[in-house]
Amino acid sequence: MKTVVLPSGEKVPAFGLGTWNIGDDPAARAEEIATIRLGLDAGATLIDTAEMYGEGRSEELVGEAIAGRRDEVFIVTKVYPHNASRNGIPAACERSLKRLKTDRIDLYLLHWRGSIPFAETVDAFAALQKAGKIRHYGVSNLDLGDMQALWKIPAGRAVAANQLLYNLTRRGIEYDLLPWLRERKVPVMAYSPVEQGRLMTDGKLAGFARRHGMTAAQAALAWLLAKEGVIAIPKTGRRDRLKENLGALEHPLVVAQLAELDRLFPPPAGPQALEML
């Protein structure tokens, strides 16, 4: 399994498991748990979730899926902006720990920027880290201006990742934000790597995939896996789809293929507003 190095030097899988909307349908629960466990067996041991996902249902499902295997897993979860205060973060963290059935979160992220000052949020994160409740902290959906503001705060420079919307059709971060993060060795966690499934039916990508002996989903994921310091977190609750996604690891893209994708899905020519889903 390809890995990405966190600022601390710790290595984590470059292919993780997203859980948005997983846990919402009781009829799908057994298959979703089996899918997560299959991912762990394959080395996809980074699992991304959030207190927002199903108002805790995804965290509960993750907790059930990793029972007996906690030490194999790198858990990422996220706190709502309105909970990201000095007193709100510890309480939200305790609720997430209870749902996940664990004593620590490996990476705790601010889900997006809200009205609570960054300094208060990162101080609360640092206190949780000191208490052993979380191992690393980071952010999600922060643009370049947000990151520059965060970097002015000493504790803000300890962020371990920025989780962002990033795929072949959402390349805006490449113009300025991604280079800024790379310079500071802050990894990107790419959510919606297949654009909520829409890339799987994109004609241009389908043609590319056929020419190179892979599926469209595998091509989209392989493109991200070729990027330095990027962690892809495709979401699926089905074992067959997970097996397909994992196939991207067997199709590393060469320079000519990456150039072809650049022609099909051009990089940004100038700065763009940060996109979110």
Give the pLDDT confidence of 49-70 residue by residue, as tens digits: 999 999 999 999 999 999 999 9
The predicted structure's pLDDT at residue 208: 97
Q: Using one digit for the tens of pLDDT, what is the confidence trace for 118-171?
A: 999 999 999 999 999 999 999 999 999 999 999 999 999 999 999 999 999 999
Please list the ranges in the chain whose pLDDT falls under 50. Answer: none
pTM of the entire predicted model:
0.95
The predicted structure's pLDDT at residue 200: 87
Show the tokens assigned to 109: 């992220």
CB distance 48 to 18 below 8 Å: yes
Q: What b/e readout covers 139-170, taking b as 16+ CB neighbours within 10 angstroms? A: bbbbbbebbebbeebebbebbbbbbbbbbbbb
Enumerate the active-site residues. Answer: 53
The predicted structure's pLDDT at residue 197: 86
CB distance 33 to 214 below 8 Å: no
